[in-house]
Structure 1
């Protein structure tokens, strides 16, 4: 099952001489029950791809799907409901409400939707993120790593079909980042969720089951069973390609 996908995705910004083609005909699917990382040089289109696949932005042409639902066919209200009910989000800046406790932040999306909270599921999440003794604390009383773990629990609380994480370790030290990455991995492999993560960090990408690489708005490579060393070597190949003036690195598929 494919949890999310884009087909012939094109996204442009601006007009005339200022026109930028952030996505240039990308087709890629993100399998259900898997952890996929999106990588590429700065300006490669990786965050644009995530935002369009998640319904946070619209494509100029092509289609984006969550499960069997085409996002472009939905009105604004339908799209809002889909994001609320079927998609989870984790961002670099945590986005916790400072006036709410940890427990209230975790269940906030369900409280706003009026759908009720699955206490058994939420209690299991709290156990997984290891914050049972912090439920009455507010975000300002937590470390950055603890705040991001709350954000991950909030993203998972509604049992979404897919969680999109945009540089989730970008504001964290290496130890806290490792804790968050392990948590995302557990969400996939122990709890059956789907995670799609944008990152610039080869160490973070090594936690994924597969890495997809973008360059100049195009899908140019995929790598199964990544390691930090293999990902770093692939990123160096992009830099070498650009430095020697050859343009985008040729598409390859790395499977070991």
Structure 2
């Protein structure tokens, strides 16, 4: 049974992987200014799967991007663990994203000249580290890529390419993985396989995942759904089902 909760910054006994405090993101100025985020405060618990939903233009992708350090807020603070990333310069942010964060985007962003195995190992190689072979093997087995590791992206289906991207995101053992519409370019079967993998990563590998999605079925794989409207978090849902998420989105006018 899902539970709707009144959204508030609050505190939790669980460890916090990321949090926003009083975050505003404005585009433009004067009469043309648009607030993509309006004084948002939220905590992302470690070891949980959090989905972010809202109508078009609600600010959900903007929230993910500022939490991940891909964009800077106009005001407020963003923390990854206990580190205030809003005080970092561009080089420090780049290193933090490389060392502590994983990313999965709708566009797979794989290098076409590299094999699946080489794409998975690339972030570690760039960082000058050798990936943990047992960890990578467990990810590859879970995502079902064992027989495709020697293939280049052009030789893989869209679903297989996205699973390579997901494996790459987890290969460095990041503190948190951000996924922006990761199933948007996939058919329903491939999308379901990816979502099951992300669920497994959270439940069995103690990973933390934050996913933006417009799909109630995808959101139902999460432990918690945050609902945005007009740049603000208006509510959240625990243990969501697809029908309950869909009904709530209709109330938001999505």
Q: TM-score, normalised by structure 2?
A: 0.93
* Cα displacement (A) at 1:70: 0.5
Matched length: 240
Matched with 2:213 is: 199
Q: Distance in 2 between matches of 1:206 and 1:186?
A: 14
Matches within 5 A, 1:1-256: 1-239=15-253
Q: Distance in 1 between matches of 2:253 and 2:76?
A: 29
Q: Distance in 1 between matches of 2:78 and 2:165?
A: 25
**Unaligned stretches of 5+ residues in structure 2:** 1-14
Q: Distance in 2 between matches of 1:36 and 1:117?
A: 26
Instruction: Look up the SS of the partner of 1:99 in the other structure.
Output: coil
Q: TM-score, normalised by structure 1?
A: 0.93
**Unaligned stretches of 5+ residues in structure 1:** 241-256
- The more displaced of 69-78 and 157-166 is 69-78
Q: Which runs of 4+ in 1 moved over 3 A?
A: none
* Cα displacement (A) at 1:133: 0.4
